Homo-oligomer: A and B are copies of this chain.
Amino acid sequence: MVARGLSYRDAGVDLDASEAMHRLASRLLAGRREAYTSSIELGGYELVLHVDGVGTKTLVLERTGRMRVAGWDCVVMNTNDVACDAARPLALVDYIAMPRADERVFREVLEGVREAAEATGAALLGGETAVLPGLAGGVDVVCTVLAVREKGWRGNRAKPGDVLLGLESSGLHANGYSLARRIVEERLGGYDTVVESVRLGEELSKPVANYTAFLLEAWRRGLITAAAHVTGGAFTKVKRILPHGSAAVMEMPELPAIFRILMEAGRVEPREAYRVWNMGIGLVVAAPGDRAEEALSLAERMGHRAHLLGRVEEAEGEEPAVVLETMYGRIVY
């Protein structure tokens, strides 16, 4: 029997249905809308509130004994998002749901939260740990971050001619795990398997890269016009920072082994893979042509590996487009 190619929908996640729900919710949102966040004014400030969770990555972290990473990730996923919209993290609260009170897991998660709060400058103001027998089938870890911006920020929007830079990810971050897990568990023999020197469990337990400090500094210096955190929906998310009648045209750098391994074992279509996983690039920023060099070197100095990916070009059509030149050919969203 030839193994069938897997999509995110096969793994139980219907991105189209999720997007429909997202559109529905968007209609109810109040405040100033930006690419990742909405804000309200208070005094001379714009306050941003943002929530995100680690998703089914916790199911891997439980097996590999790395629940501390769940705490780290839930903070950093959020602070990366708010910093894309030029907001500085001020405070956070965490939410942990578990099927039974497990103090060891709780301690580990909280230790990761504490570390990340320190690394991103957010004060931990509270949290809720819910013991939910019959509802939680595993540990769910979620954080909400409060962030602040001075009034008068111009917005998260690239313009034609801007240069697009990509900062490398540290593995899958916290997205696309339902599909990755299915492939690892059903087709690669589990998390102890080593493929091409990649130990799968270890690779899938890496913490999310922290782009927060780089983003805030790049915004402060006026080095960037826009930033897209490559999370749920992966490279389709770059559309959010594009103006009407434009396209982000990017040549993707060499694909890290883990993504190739998952694609091959799961026979995942490239078009599907690039909208589920970050494929090695966790953050895309747009810089005016004359600041791109400086943005690139700031990223490198702050410990990130960065790539020149391409440009924002003018294009036909209302809806902006994302054009990826990949080792599998051109993909257009």
B-binding residues in A (CB < 8 A)? 11-14, 17-18, 20-22, 24-25, 28-31, 37-40, 42-45, 47-53, 55-56, 58-59, 90-95, 97, 99-101, 103, 106-107, 110, 113-114, 123-140, 142, 144, 146, 148, 178, 181
Contacts and interface: CB of A to CB of B under 8 A. Distances in A.
Give the oligomeric copy count. 2
A21 B103 contact: yes
Contacts of A103: 17, 20-21, 24
B131 A12 contact: yes
Contacts of A113: 28
Contacts of A110: 24-25, 28
A21 B124 contact: no
Nearest to A48: B125
A25 B127 contact: yes
Contacts of A20: 103
A212 B87 CA distance: 29
A144 B95 CA distance: 9
B133 A91 contact: no
A104 to B, nearest CB: 11
